[in-house]
Amino acid sequence: MATAAPDIMTVRSQAKWVRMSARKARLVLDHIRGRTVPEARTILAFTPRAAATEIEKVLRSAVANAEANHGLDGDELVVQLAYADVGPTLKRWRPRARGRATRIRKRTCHVTLVLAEQPEVQAPRRRRKAKPSVVDKAETKSSGSSTAAKPKASTRKRKKEAVA
Identify whether the C-beta of residue 5 lies closer than 8 Å to the C-beta of residue 116. no
Give the model's confidence band at 135: pLDDT under 50 very low, under 70 low, under 90 confident, else very high.
low
Give the per-residue pLDDT at 120.
74
Residue 85: which of 25, 131, 135 has the closest Cα?
25
> In the CATH scheme, what is the code of domain 10-94+101-117?
3.90.470.10
pLDDT tier at 29, thresholds 50, 70, 90: very high
Q: What does pTM read for this prediction?
A: 0.69
Mean of the per-residue pLDDT values of the chain: 86
Of 34, 45, 40, whose CA–CA distance to 59 is shortest? 40
Q: Look at 119 and 12; give whichever has higher pLDDT.
A: 12
Q: What is the four-CA torsion angle of 10, 1, 20, 113, rounded to 10 degrees?
A: 10
pLDDT digits (tens, 9 = 90+) for 1-26: 556 556 788 999 999 999 999 999 99
User: Tens digit of pLDDT for each residue in 70-109?
Assistant: 999 999 999 999 999 999 999 999 999 999 999 999 999 9
